[in-house]
Amino acid sequence: GAVVSQHPSRVICKSGTSVKIECRSLDFQATTMFWYRQFPKQSLMLMATSNEGSKATYEQGVEKDKFLINHASLTLSTLTVTSAHPEDSSFYICSARDPARGDTEAFFGQGTRLTVV
């Protein structure tokens, strides 16, 4: 199947700093990518839909200014956690669909474990 790569897999940062997470579709072009957040032993909560060449669509309750999403190309979306705080510590996962496959199956990245100290 199609491959989605996330980087980094783990990151530790100090409170107040910003962290960028990359999501790449390696062998297909994705006009839309999705960013999820997963708390320990919880389900995946959709944060935002990233659209290539336009602004991301955020879910209710997600701070746009805190979680900056950029989808600059058909193979790359980035999530920047700005002014991170310990409560932002979580597992972040991206997903993308391959429109050429003609179905709605989503492929997921490996996830990024963010720890804010």
Partner 1 sequence: AQSVTQPDIHITVSEGASLELRCNYSYGATPYLFWYVQSPGQGLQLLLKYFSGDTLVQGIKGFEAEFKRSQSSFNLRKPSVHWSDAAEYFCAVVSKGDDKIIFGKGTRLHILP
Positions touching partner 1 (CB under 8 A) are 1, 4, 6, 32, 34, 41-44, 46, 49, 91, 93, 95, 97, 103-111, 113
In this structure, which amino acid lies at residue 113? R
The least CB distance from residue 95 to partner 1, in Å, is: 7
Residue 67 neighbours by CB under 8 Å, 6+ apart: 35, 47, 48, 58, 79, 80, 81, 82
* Least distance CB 83 / partner 1 (angstroms): 26
- In the bound state with partner 1, the residue whose beta carbon lies nearer, of 18 and 55, is 55
Tell how strand 90-97 and strand 76-81 pair up.
unpaired
